[in-house]
Every structure is written in C-alpha cells, then in structure tokens.
Amino acid sequence: MKYDKLVRDNIPEIIKRDGKSAKIHIADDVEYDKRLKEKLLEEANEFARSGNPEELADVLEVVYAIAINKNIHKVQLESIVQKKRNEKGSFEKRIVLEEIR
C-alpha cells in the first residue's frame, strides 16, 4: 500500500514488529517543511471530520514539530498565543462576524 506522507518517528518500527517492511526516506529541510504543512492540514481535516480528541492531539503534535523546525521555542509560541489572546481575545464567546459596514 502506498502512502507518501510524513509519519511519526516510531511508525517504521511498529510496521516491522507487525512482520511487514516499509520503504522510507528521510526528508531534507525543504521537503520536511512542506510535509509538515501537509500533515497539519491532514490532521486538522481528520479532527474536523471526526471530532476525535486523538486527532486534536495529533494537530498539536504537528504544531509543536513546526515550531521546533522554525526554531520557535514552545514557551515563545505560548507567549505569542497569550499576547494575541490579550489583544484580540480568544474564541470563547463564539462570536461570528457576519459583515462590516
């Protein structure tokens, strides 16, 4: 079966333990950046379809990987989140903007 997608680090070992073999390669910097973006969309779409908390956790895992790849420390990322929350709010009030006149 063909996949052609970024997978978690232990997946090749899990496949091997299941008595199968996997053809893999290690992405260079450019490909890794591209694949992480694809993975983010994949996981976000899976969560949107299923609502499964496991898929939401996968979204976070990919976000953390992107941050590491971009040399953004988790604390720095959380600081940016807090700054935006302080300036613009969060999404707790469920406000839907319909139009600006």
pLDDT in tens, 58-86: 999 999 999 999 999 999 999 999 999 99
Rg (CA), the chain: 18
| CA of residue 73 relative to chain centroid, distance | 16
Exposed (0-12), middle (13-18) or buried (19+): which is 32, by Cβ within 10 Å? middle
Quote the pLDDT of residue 43: 98
Question: What pLDDT band is residue 87 in, cutting at 50, 70 and 90?
Answer: very high
